Chain A
Amino acid sequence: MTTPPDPDPGRSLRLGRRIVLAVPFLWLLALFLTPFLIVARMSLSDTARALPPYAPHWEGFGRLGEFLAALDLENYALLASDTLYLAAYLSSVRLAAISTILALVVAFPLAYAMARAPRRWQPALLVAVILPFWTSFLIRIYAWIGILRPEGFLDVVVQALGLADAPLGLLNTDAAVVLGMVYSYLPFMVLPIYAALERIDRSLLEAAADLGSPPWKSFWTVTVPLAAPGIVAGCLLVFIPAIGEFVIPDLLGGPDTLMIGKVLWTEFFSNRDWPLSSAVAIVLLAVLLLPLLVFQRALRRGEGAR
């Protein structure tokens, strides 16, 4: 019989609570929400050959009307008309989706084996899976450059085994990008699936067997459905960062590899087009919102079913 604790608002208590909330709240308002609004408004500005390289500039409330009048949807029109951008968005989603599926294929047996492993191994196995995640992302990508590049480790091994005599030329291809993403985000896929599998009560499988279900069938009818939340969470944890990824396509991808994070980077750093890169960012967020909404609905449905 637990009743929610009643906050007794003594004055000093209330003041304390207000401070506790206000500090992080104001911080995020200033350094998360404000910048985000600036991006939104920047995406409506025009590029200018000046410093900072955009127009109009904010010149106080007195000239609010002029300021607003100078804002327009030009950048979005450009995004819609230039096929480069559409192709980049689609290609990002495609590569992220392929990476997610492959990561699931690699991660599930690993997570399954971890959950089945003797109990005393499990803490060590967990650390083993998490450890690469803690080591530098950049270095892990760099390691793959060494392996995939022409005359790299992979070529040396493959040629020594006589499987091929010409370099495979894997570096700077979409395949390398997918490989890099699977490798980098694998822990994000393994951990939630492992957590879900580990929670499954062993007696459920015993009950299924007792009721006449062969193990392979129990796997599909009991294990997989119960692991579904972990699978969905893992897929999102891979898919979402993969869409906006910059480092992997930049280092492992080729000149033809189109990914939206890379486009944004180029627009910003090489072309110094701040308004356009802001518009790219806004559309990128919109693209990300879709899988999240799907996930939330699935989550709510799952809760409703319970």
Chain B
Amino acid sequence: MNQRTARKAARRSVGSVRRISAPWAEPDAKALVEFRSVTKSYGDVTAVDGLSLSIYPGEFFALLGPSGCGKTTLMRMLAGFEEPTGGTILLDGVEITGTPPHRRPTNMMFQSYALFPHMSVWDNIAFGLKQEGMARAAIASRVEEMLALVRLEGLARRRPDQLSGGQRQRVALARSLAKRPKVLLLDEPLGALDRKLREATQFELMDLQADLGLTFLMVTHDQDEAMIMADRIAVMDHGRIVQVAPAEEVYEQPANRYVAEFVGDVTIAEGVVTSVRGHLVHIHAPHFGAIEIDEEEGRANVGAPALVALRPEKIQIGHDEPAQPLNKVRGEIWDIAYLGDFTMMQVKVGGDDGPLVKAAIANRTRRMERPFAWDDMVWLWWDVEAGVLIDP
């Protein structure tokens, strides 16, 4: 089994973390890219705030966050388009702060692709190689190789405006890969593609990265994109990294309320810890009653305030009261959104001033025996493994 299929297998088993390699977890692994307390301010505005981060060779790394969170600035500092106002950036152990972009061994795929409109596909891909002063024959063979890699052999003479969006994206990719960068930077790489094409391209990019054994750093605001493609995701907020972890950890073990709410849907119950018995923690939350969760020992103290995050797909919904004594609440259906593969319910619990709880039902059959309707009184319940304690 080659590396690629192995990695794929590892990826497809999301939910039960099983990875073939996790260099970030190994103590003596050497980072390829290192941000050391990097700060970037524009006057009074701090775009990146004392941020430290290591990215390891062969990783597909994603910076995820809403616009304005500093993720693009961070990437542009690695490419050399911006200089940090504080801290250092190391690439392969060498400090690159102060090196202009044209002398950095990184290449970038721009969000707009930034293909040179006055040059053919061939010349676009050859541009970087020409800057190196590479021999003409070597350039030609490398360009052919790149064209083959992105399956654009027949279009070498075309100009960018004669290409479709997907083709342009592949030219941009080939151009940025031609120089064998130590790190490939991808700025919202799939943002300009329509949905079907985006899905196909996601897997192409992942395969390419695994096959070439390259390190990719991607910036995106799209959590699905980050979760599908990246080995690790750094969730950013206001110039800081809130959490760095593989997708499943970011989703199942969000560091705080911001991450929980930014990645996926969630209901957060606010309460107080009433008892801790081993790894079983009881929390009393207004409107929810007693919540029991399975947590790492030592994470909760009796009497402390606590936030419990509940993902909608982990909450079940029914007309009849469940048998379990805890982790259940009664409410009124406020909203029903039918989405095809599942239906998202918003249920008002604990009366009119209570919170809305999101619960998803997978539509396993085409018809439901007792369908739900607006204003129905229903029961919600969940497993002891469903809830997770998060920081505020």
Contacts and interface: CB of A to CB of B under 8 A. Distances in A.
User: Touching in the complex, A and B, CB below 8 A?
Assistant: yes
Interface of A: 1-6, 8, 10, 13
A2 B72 contact: yes
A3 B76 CA distance: 9
B100 A3 contact: no
B162 interface: no
By CB atoms of chain B within 10 A, which of A1, A4, A8 has the most? A1
A contact patch SS: loop
Interface in B64-122: 67-68, 71-73, 76, 80-83, 98, 100
B201 to A, nearest CB: 21
B81 A1 contact: no
B71 A6 contact: no
Interface of B: 42, 47, 67-68, 71-73, 76, 80-83, 98, 100, 221
A3 to B, nearest CB: 5
Contact of B72 (A1, A8, A10, A13): A1
Nearest to B82: A6
B21 to A, nearest CB: 32
A1 B80 contact: no
A3 B45 CA distance: 11
Nearest to B101: A8
A3 B71 contact: no
B42 A8 contact: no
B80 A3 contact: no
Contact of B82 (A1, A3, A10): A3
A184 to B, nearest CB: 38
11 contacts: A1-B67, A1-B72, A3-B47, A3-B73, A3-B82, A5-B81, A6-B81, A6-B82, A6-B83, A8-B80, A8-B98
B68 A1 contact: yes
B42 A10 contact: no
Nearest to A4: B42
B71 A1 contact: yes
Contacts of A6: 81-83
Contacts of B71: 1
In the A-B complex, the 4 residue pairs with the closest CB atoms:
A6-B82, A1-B67, A1-B72, A3-B73
A88 to B, nearest CB: 51
B240 to A, nearest CB: 16
B42 to A, nearest CB: 7
A3 B83 contact: no
A287 B72 CA distance: 50
A2 B68 CA distance: 9
Nearest to B67: A1
A8 B83 contact: yes
B42 A3 contact: yes
Contacts of B68: 1
B48 to A, nearest CB: 10
A5 B110 CA distance: 14
A4 B42 CA distance: 9
A2 B80 CA distance: 15
Contacts of A5: 81-82
A57 B98 CA distance: 55
Nearest to A2: B72
- Which of A2, A4, A6, A10 is packed against the most chain B CB atoms within 10 Å? A6
A6 B100 CA distance: 11
A13 B68 CA distance: 29
A8 B81 CA distance: 8
Contacts of A1: 67-68, 71-72, 221
Contacts of B67: 1
B140 to A, nearest CB: 32
B184 to A, nearest CB: 19
Nearest to B69: A1
A2 B67 CA distance: 9
Nearest to A9: B83
